[in-house]
């Protein structure tokens, strides 16, 4: 999610992870969950009113937490209301950089580093420079990096700018259950792979490994009798789970030593992953080459050679899945699939088995 923590008082024995938390030898992985809590809302109660064209989403394709926001933005049709800037897959210890853009400068903000947007608001910002981040374009200052709240606000505060046929990703009757599932997944799945991969000793690793796999087994069972996590339709819960699952076989299995078995050997989870990958708005946001480049290159403490593996073969994501056997209303009442992404936002065809032609 981020580069290293910005604090200059860090323990010298601690290695900074790309996820904004310290990794200390002999201790479990501990993610810093303190984010900028400001929200962009319809009533503007935090000083940031919903306004088309005012904010820019900075979201690296390599990052699973940022991947959620790219999916949500696509599904809801917010491309015209919220512009997007995409840093490259690697970064230095200071910040994500806009090295994919011409001149290595974000064309809207004029920044070389996301760090500049943080410092524009907080000159002595002491925490990780994380993605996703929403930046106020007029002031070029960061508004929020609270990845858990951003997609919820996309679904509930930005409704005036949703496309016709946008799905209700956070339906009121299901919110309590979605919130509970999301909280469980955060600790047992989404963040758990990092607790396995960055475990500082054998005992911590084995404990986290067993807890992760127990949770994946629970999801395998849950998906045995329904198409999506909440039933017949896609919700915020699916948006949060997919980025972890799509990274599992190419990264978490080997790089993070979460290697009981590959996800592709678990019929319900794998067919669910294939199903979502083939669904507009999900797979067309995934850049598998950037994902592998990020983890294997940036995590020098885990992979000091920085060699990026060529495998595994992910073309099986395009194989037929069996999820059509379940009752399905993918987009909800009155909902439709999103249009193709804008040409400028299409993933390089060489980086994914899913070939999408842009608008």
- Residue ranges and CATH numbers for the domains of the chain are 172-351 (1.20.1050.10)
- For 143, phi and psi rounded to 5 degrees? -100, -50
Residue 330 · residue 233 · CB < 8 Å: yes
Q: Which residues pair with 48 in a beta bridge?
A: none
| Residues 22-40, mean pLDDT to the nearest whole number | 75
Assess whether pLDDT exceeds 70 at residue 17: no
Q: Which of 22, 35, 55, 63 is catalytic?
A: 63
- For 284, phi and psi rounded to 5 degrees? -75, 0
Measured between alpha carbons, how far is 138 from 63 in angstroms, rounded to an integer?
26
pLDDT per residue over 289-326, tens digit each? Answer: 999 999 999 999 999 999 999 999 999 999 999 999 99
Q: State yes or no: 96 annotated in a binding site.
A: yes
pLDDT value at residue 4? 33
Q: Judge residue 156's burial from the number of C-beta atoms within 10 Å of its C-beta, 0-12 exposed, 13-18 middle, 19 or more buried.
A: middle
pLDDT per residue over 125-156, tens digit each? Answer: 999 999 999 999 999 999 999 999 999 999 99
* 252 catalytic residue (yes or no): no
Measured between alpha carbons, how far is 21 from 320 in angstroms, rounded to an integer?
39
pLDDT value at residue 26? 52
Measuring CA to CA, which residue among 278, 329, 333 is closest to residue 166? 333
Half-sphere exposure of residue 142: CA atoms within 13 angstroms, side-chain side: 27
Q: Which residues pair with 228 in a beta bridge?
A: 231
* 63 catalytic residue (yes or no): yes
H/E stretch holding 57 = strand 55-58
pLDDT value at residue 355? 86
Q: Which of 194, 205, 228, 295 is catalytic?
A: 194
Assess whether pLDDT exceeds 60 at residue 6: no
Measured between alpha carbons, how far is 158 from 171 in angstroms, rounded to an integer?
14
Assess whether pLDDT exceeds 50 at residue 13: no
User: CA triplet 215, 221, 222: central angle to 5 degrees?
Assistant: 90
Higher pLDDT, 1 or 179: 179
User: pTM score, two decimals?
Assistant: 0.93
Q: What percent of the chain has pLDDT over 90?
A: 88
């Amino acid at each position: 999610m981020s580069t290293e923590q910005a604090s200059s008082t860090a323990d010298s024995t601690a290695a900074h992870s790309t996820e904004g938390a310290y990794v200390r030898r002999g201790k479990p992985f501990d993610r810093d969950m303190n984010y900028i809590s400001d929200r962009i809302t319809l009533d503007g109660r935090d000083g940031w009113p919903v306004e088309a064209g005012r904010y820019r989403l900075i979201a690296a394709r390599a990052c699973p937490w940022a991947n959620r926001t790219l999916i949500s933005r696509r599904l809801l049709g917010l491309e015209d209301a919220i512009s997007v800037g995409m840093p490259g897959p690697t970064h230095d210890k200071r910040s994500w950089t806009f090295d994919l853009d011409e001149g290595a400068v974000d064309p809207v903000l004029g920044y070389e580093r996301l760090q500049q947007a943080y410092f524009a608001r907080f000159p002595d910002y002491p925490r990780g420079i994380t993605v996703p981040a929403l930046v106020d374009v007029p002031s070029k200052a960061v508004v929020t990096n609270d990845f858990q709240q951003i997609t919820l606000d996309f679904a509930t505060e930005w409704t005036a700018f949703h496309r016709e046929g946008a799905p209700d990703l956070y339906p009121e009757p299901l919110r309590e259950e979605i919130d509970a599932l999301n909280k469980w997944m955060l600790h047992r799945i989404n963040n758990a792979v990092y607790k396995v991969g960055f475990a500082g000793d054998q005992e911590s690793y084995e404990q986290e490994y067993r807890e992760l796999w127990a949770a994946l087994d629970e999801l395998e069972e849950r998906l045995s009798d329904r198409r999506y996590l909440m039933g017949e339709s896609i919700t915020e819960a699916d948006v949060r789970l997919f980025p972890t699952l799509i990274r599992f076989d190419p990264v978490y299995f080997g790089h993070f030593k979460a290697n009981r078995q590959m996800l592709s050997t678990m019929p319900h989870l794998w067919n669910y992953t294939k199903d979502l990958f083939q669904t507009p708005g999900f797979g067309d946001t995934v850049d598998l080459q950037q994902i592998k480049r990020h983890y294997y290159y940036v995590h020098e403490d885990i992979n000091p050679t920085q060699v990026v593996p060529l495998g595994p073969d992910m073309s099986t994501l395009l194989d037929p899945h069996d999820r059509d056997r379940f009752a399905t209303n993918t987009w909800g009442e009155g909902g439709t699939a999103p249009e193709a992404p804008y040409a400028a936002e299409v993933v390089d065809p060489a980086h994914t088995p899913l070939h999408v032609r842009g608008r």
